[in-house]
Structure 1
Amino acid sequence: MWIKLAILLVFSLVGQKAQISHSIILYEGTQGWGDSLKIENYVNDLNSVGFNNKASSLCVEDGIWILYDAPSYNMYSDLPSGYFWGEDYCTDLAHDLRQKVSSLRYVGSPFGYKVDGVHLYGRPWFGGTEIFLTGEARISFLVKSLVVTGKSVWTLYEKQDFSGYHVCVAPSNSSSGYPGFYTKEADFGFAGRKIRSIQKDCFP
Structure 2
Amino acid sequence: MSQYSGKITFYEGKCFTGRKLEVCGSCGSFQDQGFLNRVNSICVQSGAWVCFDHPNFRGQQYILEHGEYPDFYRWNGRSDHLGSCRPVGMHGEHYRIQIFEGSHFSGPSLELTEDCSFLQGQGWDKTCINALKVYGDGAWVLYEEPNYRGRMYVVERGEFSNFNAWQARSASVQSIRRVINYF
Task: Determine if the alignment matches structure 1 residue 183 to structure 2 residue 110.
Answer: no
1:19-42 CA-to-partner distances (Å, cap 9, x unmatched) read: 644110001110111111110111
Q: TM-score, normalised on structure 2?
A: 0.54
* Alignment correspondent of 1:80: 60
Task: Determine if the alignment matches structure 1 residue 152 to structure 2 residue 132.
Answer: no
C-alpha change, 1:64 and 1:166, in structure 2 (3 Å) is same
Aligned partner of 1:96: which letter?
R
* Alignment correspondent of 1:62: 46
| Aligned residue pair count | 126
Identity among equivalent positions (%) equals 21
- Unaligned runs of 5+ residues in structure 2 are 117-137, 149-159, 163-183
C-alpha change, 1:73 and 1:19, in structure 2 (3 Å) is closer
Task: Determine if the alignment matches structure 1 residue 194 to structure 2 residue 161.
Answer: yes
Structure of larger gyration radius: 1
User: How far apart, CA to CA, are the structure 2 residues paired with 1:68 and 1:97?
Assistant: 12
User: How far apart, CA to CA, are the structure 1 residues paired with 2:87 and 2:3?
Assistant: 14
* Alignment correspondent of 1:106: 87
Cα drift, residue 105 of structure 1: 1.2
- Unaligned runs of 5+ residues in structure 1 are 1-16, 110-114, 117-149, 188-192, 196-204
**RMSD over equivalenced CA pairs, Å:** 3.7
Please tell me whether the aligned partners of residues 49 and 86 of structure 2 are also in contact (alpha carbons under 8 angstroms): yes
Please tell me whether the aligned partners of residues 5 and 88 of structure 2 are also in contact (alpha carbons under 8 angstroms): no
User: How far apart, CA to CA, are the structure 2 residues paired with 1:68 and 1:21?
Assistant: 17
Higher relative contact order (CA 8 A, sep 6+): 2
C-alpha change, 1:179 and 1:18, in structure 2 (3 Å) is closer
Instruction: Return the match for 2:70 from 72, 91, 108.
Output: 91
User: How far apart, CA to CA, are the structure 2 residues paired with 1:171 and 1:40?
Assistant: 29
